[in-house]
Structures are given as C-alpha cells and as structure tokens.
Chain A
C-alpha cells in the first residue's frame, strides 16, 4: 500500500519567517495531495491541495509544490504568524479517494 513520510516532526520558527514541510510518497498512482491543519482538540481542516497535473499551487501565504518524478511534495508558509501554530499533515490519495497521511509536523511560531 501507499506509504507517506513527513519531515520534520517539529518545526520552530520566529514570526515572519518561512516554514517548509516536506513529504514523500511511494505509490506512483497517487494523484491528489492535500494538506490539513489541525489545532489542539479540533478536527483536521484542509488548507490547500494539489492535483497530479499541476506542479505548484499558491493561496495567499501558503503554497504547495509537487514533483511527481521524485514522488515528493512540500508545503511552504511565508510570513508566518502565531496563529499558524498547529499540527500539519500531508496525505496522498489512493483507491476510492482513501487518504494515507504522514505522521504530522508540529509547527510553533514564536512572536
């Protein structure tokens, strides 16, 4: 089955810095790669996603890049703010829209 590796497991940055989280996947048939943000005690919420026919997607301070040849994709957050502090999960799609998740990255943005 699909295997998704996510790094780093924790990331501390100063407010205003950029943050980058990287994921790799194993199944070349995967064609949809969402990123979820989860605040403590809350449900995961989609923040951005990318489909296999696109190399990069941007939404304000958040961007995602995909390299299908290398089977890796990354989340970039610019001008980080304290409210960006949360756990971020990458995922890769499988059969019947199932998702395989990475183990998560705890992002801490210090004022």
Chain B
C-alpha cells in the first residue's frame, strides 16, 4: 500500500496563477483532510471531506476550493494564488470512525512569488 500520496512535491507560482494539488489514498478511508503548515503555526485545517460526496470548511478556507472526486481522491484548488498562500500543504485521511489515527501524505511545498 502506498498510503496517502500527493502531487506535486514542489511548486512555484506567480501571484494570480491557479493550480490544483492532488491527493489520493489507497486505504479505503472515508474521511480526508487538507492542512497547511506555516512556521510557528502548527497545522491548520483548510477543508475536509467526512465522506464521499461531502466537503466542509475548516479553520482557514479562504482562497481555496476542494473536490472529493471519489472515495480515493481529494483535490485542493487555488484559483488565484497569493503570496500569503506560500506554505507546505498536507493531505491526510482516516477511517472516519471517531478516535482514529489520521495518516498524512508527504506534503507539497508551494511558493507564490
């Protein structure tokens, strides 16, 4: 099992450009999450999908959209990138049963100039 995979690993964008971060899991998990990690700020939840067909906002959703394409895949889209979105983005998944471990992908390092 590959676990949680993310593409790309690195990306540089200019202000105003758009891009989609891809995430996939092969653990048959129901719930998937997108976090961003900034120095000194820990991980903050952007959006999540509790189950296939549902999405909901987290703590910092502004400037982002998501799509739960199917049970395996959960993508994060930046429609018009801003320098404030420079960060490391992590996707995670879990079974959806409460009190269960979240498994993280390797992360995408995004720089917006």
Inter-subunit contact A46/B59 (CB<8 Å): no
Categorize the interface residue count of chain B. Answer: 20 to 34
Which of B14-22, B66-74, B76-84, B93-101 forms contacts with chain A?
B93-101
| Closest Cβ–Cβ distance, residue B70 to chain A (whole Å) | 18
Which parts of A39-98 form the interface with B (CB within 8 Å)? 42-46, 49, 51, 89, 93, 96-98
Residue of A nearest to B4 (CB): A43
Inter-subunit contact B31/A89 (CB<8 Å): no
Assembly CA distance A89 to B37 (angstroms):
12
Which parts of A7-47 form the interface with B (CB within 8 Å)? 9, 31-32, 34, 42-46
Interface centre among A6, A34, A44 (most CB of B within 10 A): A44
Inter-subunit contact A97/B43 (CB<8 Å): no
> Does B106 count as interface, using CB distance less than 8 angstroms?
yes
Please count the residue pairs between chain A and chain B whose beta carbons lie under 8 angstroms apart in the complex: 62
Assembly CA distance A98 to B102 (angstroms):
9
Say which residue of B100, B105, B106 sits within 8 Å of A97 (CB atoms). Answer: B100
Which residues of B sit under 8 angstroms from A46, Cβ to Cβ? 101-102
> Does B27 count as interface, using CB distance less than 8 angstroms?
no
- Contacts A44-B90, A96-B50 known; A101 to B101 CB distance under 8 Å? no
Inter-subunit contact B44/A101 (CB<8 Å): yes
Which residues of B sit under 8 angstroms from A99, Cβ to Cβ? 33, 43, 45, 102
A-B contact pairs, 19 of them (CB 8 A): A1-B59, A6-B42, A9-B40, A31-B99, A32-B98, A32-B99, A43-B104, A43-B105, A46-B102, A49-B101, A89-B42, A93-B98, A96-B31, A97-B31, A97-B97, A97-B102, A98-B48, A100-B59, A103-B40
New A-B pairs, 12, CB < 8 Å, besides A43-B90, A97-B94, A97-B102: A9-B40, A31-B98, A42-B106, A43-B106, A43-B107, A46-B102, A93-B98, A96-B96, A97-B100, A99-B43, A103-B40, A104-B40
Q: Using a CB–CB distance below 8 Å, which chain A residues touch chain B?
A: 1, 6, 9, 31-32, 34, 42-46, 49, 51, 89, 93, 96-104
